[in-house]
Amino acid sequence: MTSSERRLGDAIQIPGNYQFQAAFAGSAPQRFWHQTRFEVCLDMLDAGAGMRVLDVGCGSGVFADMVAAVDGTEVTAVDGNREAVSFAERQFCRSNLSFVHGLVDELAFESSSFDRISCLEVIEHIHPEQGRAVMRTFHRLLAPGGRLVISTPNMHSYWPALEWSLDRLRLVPTMDGEQHVAGYHPRALRALGEETGFRLRSTRTLFVLSPWLALANWRLAKALHRLEEAIPVHFGTLLVQSFDRA
């Protein structure tokens, strides 16, 4: 991998509190999107007492704090955005939660240091070869029997059109090219996991129409979300897969 293929961060600066604001102070669809994805990923991670958890690309620290709220977990959260790490340290104070500034493949974690790793909407921000290297790092860091949960926009959905629209309307910090430089769909992400030593455990896709219904009624949006997840075809705009360390 050449230096030009290795990204140290996005081409634009994302505010340190961005994910926190989106989850709790954004528009109804934005709040629904972030809160629901965190709930789903927490369920798939299935962290319990005595488990060491690494949250990679923690941003504002919202998901890391949710994991740390599980009794008996020990959570380390990592992000390359120093402003985000500083915000998270101020916002979330738990004895079992620590925030670290840096890139996961540059930090001196020992092999088999963690029982669970989460990496939510990060892999699309790095070039494919770098993503492959990071997945190998995850495999090294996970203890035998460990689990990885990874989420990313689903390119086999209407996500590309949604991203284009959000960028053109300037409703979010520019994604295409500035943040997102890679794209995945269920088969591609599964193949990447298997290539780097993982075994697919489960696949879920989220958000067809449910976030937009949250504009009118949050409870109905939740009901629609459950129906969307029950559909066997994976065409939701957010892809979440869990892997076991093979």
pLDDT tens digits, residue range 129-185?
Answer: 999 999 999 999 999 999 999 999 999 999 989 888 876 777 676 666 667 899 999
Q: What CATH number did the domain enclosing 134 receive? A: 3.40.50.150
Half-sphere CA count of 17, side-chain side, radius 13 A = 8
Does residue 222 form part of some domain? no
Joined tokens for residue 110: 């020992």
Ordered alpha helix ranges (H), the chain:
18-25, 28-45, 62-68, 82-91, 128-141, 159-168, 186-195, 210-213, 218-230
Does residue 224 form part of some domain? no
Does residue 226 form part of some domain? no
pTM of the model: 0.92
Joined tokens for residue 50: 């005595």
Domain count of the fold of the chain: 1
Does residue 221 form part of some domain? no
Does residue 228 form part of some domain? no
The parent domain of residue 95 ranges over: 3-207+233-245
Does residue 174 form part of some domain? yes
Task: State the Cα–Cα distance between residues 189 and 134, nearest whole angstrom.
Answer: 13
Return the pLDDT at 3: 42
Does residue 45 form part of some domain? yes
The least confident of 3-12, 60-69, 201-210 is 3-12
Does residue 196 form part of some domain? yes
pLDDT tens digits, 61-96: 999 999 999 999 999 999 999 999 999 999 999 999
Whether residue 240 contacts residue 44, with contact meaning beta carbons closer than 8 Å, is answered with: yes
